[in-house]
Structure 1
Amino acid sequence: MTDRKTRLAVILITSLFFLWGFALNLNPILIPHLKKACQLSDFQSALIDSASYIAYFLIALPAGLFMKRFGYKAGITLGLLLFAFGTFLFYPAAEFRQFSFFLVALFIIASGLTMLETAANPYITVLGDPESATQRLNFAQSFNGLAAFLAPLMGGMFILSGKNLTEQQQSAMTADQLDAYLNLEAASVQVPFIIIGVVVLIVAVLIWRTKLPEIKEEEEVVTQEEVTGSILGEKNLILGVLAQFFYVGAQVCISSFFIRFSDKVAGIDEISAAYLLSAAFLSFMIGRFIGTYLMRFVAPPRLLAIYSVINLGLVLVAVLTNGMVAIYALVGVQFFMSIMFPTIFALSIRGLGAKTKIGSSLVIMSIVGGAIFPVIMGQVSDISSIQTAYIVPGVCFLVVLYFAIKNNSIKNVKLGASH
């Protein structure tokens, strides 16, 4: 490939990191929005996360098999087509105002995102000089962080209306007036998601028309001694899978109910809360850079333990206080969550040798925690309050803390994954 074509390929693959980051981080906007438009309970609105994150569990292995058979380029193209198809389904879903229709659309989008994530990391490493592969990967991942910052900002501007009717206001409306109001709210997702779908289709066409190198899987030569024993016998790996399951659950819970929390605890309107969430995601991105630097001086398991304790304290502040203090506590949680996914990942697979690939797959599949814990949190919120429900991610951080303590003797790990 010429330098010009290589640059184009790098730009296109890097754009995938931005696209899936943007799509996933629209969920915290969709949760309060569809709760209002479709008149849902907190438990029902949490199914938005479930529809997205269950795809990572169900589609990851089929996506890998598809790409092994047809190649990474075909997998990326199919992933983008699924992504676009899912976004276009938002139009009829809003027309009918059917929540189940939205969930199907979100699952299709997430299935496409799963294929993109499966392919993008290895692809970006082979596009160019092997010595700069890590630099390219980190550069591409920074666009994922940029997307996390922009998604709630743009969602707040173009999807949320900032208008929430009280029960008294709703009861004062006629059935036709209420229906018209809810239809107007639902319709606000149509144009933004059509635009996203068109952009994704354009990227799919460019990917398909661009010559990309095929990744050749290297054959591993391993001894019988290296593969002896079941992967389930790797106690630290299994504990790491459990820790990652709880961590991703906590991460999704913290952001998904942030807008609802801001309204109930500090009386902040949904658009202002979306901007605050955007700032929280920015602190997450900054926290990852600072955390990576601190690991030069503090062993990763120890820093993970310290951050877990701090987050436990901040969650307690959010649960027990009111006003902006509680809001800022949750913004702080985002900062201290920043290093958790890659650190847990790296600690979980250390020393696995020939079992590293399957171990990595198990840790990635534990992302399904993002489908489980928001539903639990929504149920707790319906029974008690959204503020009390933040105890759920607090419990999750306890599991992360236990994993960090068990790994505290480890001096150095190589951080090789992010989410």
Structure 2
Amino acid sequence: MAATPLSQSSATHNTSGANGRYGFALTSLTSLFFMWGFITCLNDILIPHLKAVFELNYAQAMLIQFCFFGAYFLVSVPAGALVRRLGYQKGIVVGLLTAALGCGLFYPAAVSATYGVFLGALFVLASGITVLQVAANPYVAALGPVQTASSRLTLTQAFNALGTTVAPAFGSVLILSAAVGASAEAEAEAVKLPYLLLCGMLIVLAVVFALLKLPHLHEQEDHVQGAAKVSALSHRHLVLGALGIFVYVGGEVAIGSFLVNFLGQPHVAGMVESEAAHYIAFYWGGAMVGRFIGAAVMQKIDAGKVLGFNAAMAAILVLVAISTEGMVSMWAILAVGLFNSIMFPTIFSLALKNLGPATAQGSGILCLAIVGGAVVPLLQGLLADSIGLSSSFILPVLCYGYILFYGLRGSKAQEA
């Protein structure tokens, strides 16, 4: 199962000194959130690039996200076992090195100019990111009082969103712009430099985290023993929350994946790919701003109500983008990012509420549900090929509709 969150008692003792005690560890972990946000968002640049290089339809192009997020489903369980055996810090180092290997594999993929090799490199890269997710998310939750875990995760994920905000400009300059007018082989090779740079950065981070002196935290034995006696699936709000994670990640990734092509439509903005890529920063930048705001708002307002409000606004904005043209359509779809902001950490924390000894199992189920990022974009790709790109955005609307229900009703903690 995925990484095990610490028991409440071990996470909450000495609450008054938690911030100072764990400040350095939390600061170090923000670099990881930044890096995997940066790498994940590069897929939004890679999709239109490889779509053009290999002359793919929308469904074929979405195999990029299918391979990337499919790794969450396949790797989360062994990653959880690995992290439990090695510990959080060593698990982070293994995740960084695996992600570095995946970035390095982009070099032979570019040389061979073979789509399948690109997909294989993405799977290895995503496997490393999965290990990082499994290790870092519960570690952040454990480094401080459980009462503010949702706010703390939201704040650290704001730095994840900072990575997604910076990545489009990086990818536009080094990938899309470099490919203009080039042969298919030269276009494929445009990914060499950016991913080799990322490979080097990940290796440096791995060395840094191997040398850092981070807090060594343990689960309490009675918490582990109790977990075997209680099934997380007996908690209705956990099961519904897993579906919430599935549709949220799927909807957010699907919108980001199609943004460049959406803005390139003549009735929207008619932008070339390298120009449209810069505007992805507004989508992910909105998520970053929203997370900083949400971290403060949820100190005062019920998290479920905030989640429901954001889901309703996101659905409305997507409907506006579908039904209008020009700048209204463009800015409506970009503004969705602002309301996506708090959804993942909020659903995650609401789903784990009051699970007690079943918290570890519940965390694993939620990590598996991230596979929605593989399934929903592929389904939208099939819709785009059959009913048109703009009309296919009705699928994210349905996703947000479910999240609205979960925030207002489904997240109420009770056993099935």
* Closer, same or farther: CA 195–249 of 1 in aligned 2, 3 Å: same
Rounded Cα–Cα distance in structure 2 between residues aligned with 1:305 and 1:127: 28
How far apart in 1 are the matches of 2:262 and 2:301?
34
Q: Distance in 1 between matches of 2:230 and 2:320?
A: 45
2:89 is the alignment partner of 1:44: no
Residue 388 of structure 1 is matched in structure 2 by 391
My pick for the range that moved more, 117-126 or 56-65, is: 117-126
Question: What amino acid maps onto 2:69 in structure 1?
Answer: Y
Greater displacement, 183-192 / 397-406: 397-406
Q: In structure 1, what is the equivalent of residue 199 of structure 2? A: 197
Q: Does 1:286 align with 2:289?
A: yes
Change (3 A) 1:211 1:234: closer
1:366 aligns with 2:353: no
Deviation per residue, 1:139-185 (Å, 9 max, x gap): 644432211111112111211128778xxxxxxxxxxxxxx621121
How far, CA to CA, are the matches of 1:296 and 1:13 in structure 2? 22
Corresponding residue of 2:76 = 60
Equivalent residue, structure 1, for 2:208: 206
1:386 and 1:182 mapped to 2: Cα distance?
A: 25
Paired residues of 1:156 and 1:274 also in contact (CA < 8 A): yes
CA contact (8 A) 1:305 1:405 kept: yes
Structure 2 Cα separation of the partners of residues 125 and 307 of structure 1: 23
Distance 1:76 1:139, change over 3 A: same
Amino acid at match of 2:264: D
**1:76–1:116 CA contact under 8 A, matched in 2:** yes
Is the 1:162–1:269 Cα contact (8 Å) retained in structure 2?
A: no
1:99 aligns with 2:115: yes
Contact 2:263 2:330 (C-alpha < 8 Å) held by counterparts: yes
Question: TM-score normalised to the size of structure 2?
Answer: 0.85
Structure-2 change in CA distance of 1:347 and 1:14 (3 Å)? closer
The equivalent of 2:169 in structure 1 is 153
SS in 2 for 1:366: helix
| Mapping of residues 47-196 of structure 1, within 5 Å | 47-123=63-139, 140-161=156-177, 181-196=183-198
Unaligned runs of 5+ in 2: 1-21
Larger radius of gyration: 1
**Whole-Å separation in 2 of the counterparts to 1:373 and 1:70:** 33
| Aligned 8 A contact 1:162 1:270 in 2 | no
Match of 1:174 in 2: none
SS for the counterpart of 1:266 is: coil
Q: In the TM superposition, what are the counterparts of 1:228-377 in structure 2 within 5 Å?
A: 230-264=231-265, 265-295=268-298, 298-377=301-380
| 8 Å contact from structure 1 (residues 248, 370) kept in 2 | yes
Comparing 115-124 and 317-326, the one that deviates more: 115-124
Aligned equivalents of 1:46, 1:111: Cα separation in 2: 18
Cα offset for 1:77? 2.2
Alpha carbons of 1:391 and 1:283: their partners in 2 closer, same or farther (altered >3 Å)?
Answer: same
Residue 413 (structure 1) aligns with = none
Cα deviation for residue 214 of structure 1 reads 3.5
Number of residue equivalences? 390
| Cα-Cα RMSD | 3.0
CA deviation after TM superposition for structure 1 residue 291, in Å: 3.1
Q: Secondary structure at the match of 1:328?
A: helix
The more displaced of 199-208 and 387-396 is 199-208
The 2-side partners of 1:409 and 1:60 are apart by 26
**Cα distance change of structure 1 residues 16 and 252 upon mapping to structure 2, 3 Å threshold:** same
Q: Aligned residue for 2:37?
A: 21
Offset, 1:22: 1.0
Q: How many percent identity over aligned positions?
A: 40
Deviation at 1:360, TM superposition (A): 2.1
Check 1:188–1:162 CA distance in 2 against 1; reply closer, same or farther (3 A cut): closer
Asked whether the 8 Å contact 1:347–1:407 carries over to 2, the reply is no
Is contact 2:154-2:342 (8 Å) kept?
no
